[in-house]
Amino acid sequence: MANVAIIDDDRKMGDLLKKYLEENNHSVAYFVDPKRFLGQKVDRYDIAILDILMPEMDGFAVLKEIRKRSAVPVIMLTAKGDVYDRIVGLELGADDYLPKPFEPRELLARMDAVLRRARGGTLRQEQFEYDVFTLDTQSMKLHVEGEDVTLTGAEFELLLCFCENPFRVMTRDVIMEQTKSISWESYDRSVDVLVSRLRKKLKDDPGDSRIIRTVWGEGYMFIARKKDGK
Same domain, 142 and 207: yes
Q: Note the pLDDT of residue 80.
A: 61
pLDDT per residue as tens digits for the range 29-73:
999 999 999 999 998 999 999 999 888 899 999 999 999 888 899
Residue (of 215, 116, 207) closest to 162 by Cα position: 215
User: What DSSP element (H or E) covers 202?
Assistant: helix 190-202
The torsion of the CA quartet 100, 54, 12, 28, rounded to 10 degrees, works out to 90
Q: Note the pLDDT of residue 119.
A: 67
Q: Are 108 and 20 in contact (CB under 8 A)?
A: yes
What CATH number is given to the structural domain containing 165?
1.10.10.10
Identify whether 184 is part of a domain.
yes
Identify whether 227 is part of a domain.
no
Instruction: Supply the range of the domain harboring residue 164.
Output: 127-222
Same domain, 98 and 145: no
Provide DSSP, 11-58: HHHHHHHHHHHHHTT-EEEEESSHHHHHTS-GGG-SEEEEES--SSS-
Same domain, 103 and 131: no
Same domain, 110 and 136: no
pLDDT per residue as tens digits for the range 65-75:
999 888 899 99
Check pLDDT > 80 for residue 230.
Answer: no
Q: Please, which pLDDT band fits residue 123 given cuts at 50, 70 and 90? A: very low
What CATH number is given to the structural domain containing 112?
3.40.50.2300
Same domain, 135 and 193: yes
Same domain, 152 and 194: yes
Residue 210 is classified by DSSP as S
Check pLDDT > 90 for residue 195.
Answer: yes
Tally of domains in the chain: 2
Identify whether 229 is part of a domain.
no
Q: Are 32 and 9 in contact (CB under 8 A)?
A: yes
Q: Note the pLDDT of residue 95.
A: 86
Same domain, 22 and 97: yes
Mean pLDDT of 98-124: 76
Last residue of a domain, one of 118, 137, 170: 118
